[in-house]
Amino acid sequence: GILALAVAPGFDANRFPNVPDERQRNRAVTDTYEPGSTFKVVTVAGALETGLITPSTRYTLPYQIQVADRKIHDAERRGTETMTVHDILTRSSNVGVVTIAEALGKDRISRWIDRFGFGHRTGVEFPGETKGIVLPADRWSGSTIGNVPIGQGIAVTPLQMVAAYGALANDGVWVQPHLVDRVGNQKAEEPKRRRILTTQTARMMRRMLRDVVEEGSGTAAQVPGYRIAGKTGTAAKPDERGGYSNYQYVASFVGFVPAKDPRLVILVTVDEPRGAIWGGVVAAPAFAEIAKFALQYLEVPPD
């Protein structure tokens, strides 16, 4: 199975006492961010697993819906459309995901967030790991179901997100991320594994995420000769007034390759990109470059 791995070097602060604190932490395990649309897989996978939907289930969706005191709309203005669940994920419809979330309900969504490992440390062998910020269901307001399912109002670490997508790549089995292969002549302790989705659900998610890259918002992540499965994300950053910034964003892309028989899970996050802000424009091309190099290095044959 795939072992989610953060690509970040260790750092010996005792050897370099004058180096600023910024250099002394592994951002993949210590820093949190609001993931935006990459988090939508939790709601969609949970609804698929419970039998509430299939990829071909259809919804009639307006451009904007009211959720308690908030108005939720899609990124691009459009008229009322009929979309399948497949369309909702590949086109990253906020209204579509929130509509599915409302049918699923806050208690089940909260359980799926927990099941995917958010709100918990992964247990990777690296100091300073944080568990993120996840609001329990009994503290949700009326509008929470309109923002958490689309990746707002929740904070995750990059490694948590990689591990979650690793579970989709591993046919529904979450694998504890780890760095240590052996200590001296002794093999390190085997990482923990737990099944969170059926193989069927994981493969349905993989097919839809593949189409995100082939025909949706993630086309810039394509690597010639390989099929990629992944998701873009663009999230406004919280500001000091308790709202969201109009000009500071986190752009991201997370995916795995080859899509049919994955060998690598890669996450790219760009903090406060300048010019373009969209994950599909800013982060997806970097994913493609990293994946291309890694696939050649590991001598993974084209699929």
pLDDT level of residue 15 (50, 70, 90 thresholds): very low
- 106-115 vs 40-49: helix crossing angle, rounded to 10: 110
Per-residue pLDDT tens for 266-293?
Answer: 999 999 999 898 999 999 999 999 999 9
pLDDT level of residue 127 (50, 70, 90 thresholds): confident
Across all residues in the chain, what is the average pLDDT?
90
pLDDT of residue 241: 77
pLDDT of residue 21: 58
Per-residue pLDDT tens for 131-148?
Answer: 999 999 999 999 999 999
Per-residue pLDDT tens for 203-217?
Answer: 999 999 999 999 988
Of the candidates 37, 110, 217, 252, the residue annotated as catalytic is 37
pLDDT level of residue 113 (50, 70, 90 thresholds): very high
CA dihedral 34, 99, 281, 262 (to 10 degrees): 80
pLDDT level of residue 123 (50, 70, 90 thresholds): very high
More reliable by pLDDT, 106 or 11: 106
CA neighbours within 13 Å on the CB side: how many for 243?
A: 5
pLDDT at 8 over 80: no
pLDDT level of residue 22 (50, 70, 90 thresholds): low
Query: What are the Cα distances from residue 189, in Å, to 125, 181, 186?
Result: 11, 8, 9
Q: Which letter, b or e, does each residue of 85-120 get, where b requires 16 or more Cβ atoms within 10 Å of its Cβ?
A: bbbbbbbbbbbbbbbbbeebebebbbebbebbbbbe
More reliable by pLDDT, 283 or 184: 283
Active site residue 143: no
Q: Using an 8 Å Cβ cutoff, are 82 and 57 in contact?
A: no
Percentage of residues in the chain with pLDDT exceeding 90?
76
Task: Over range 110-124, report the average pLDDT.
Answer: 96
pLDDT of residue 23: 64
Per-residue pLDDT tens for 48-83?
Answer: 999 999 999 999 999 999 999 999 999 899 999 999
Task: Check: pTM over 0.85? Answer yes or no.
Answer: yes
Burial (CB count <10 Å: 0-12, 13-18, 19+), residue 45:
buried
pLDDT of residue 88: 96
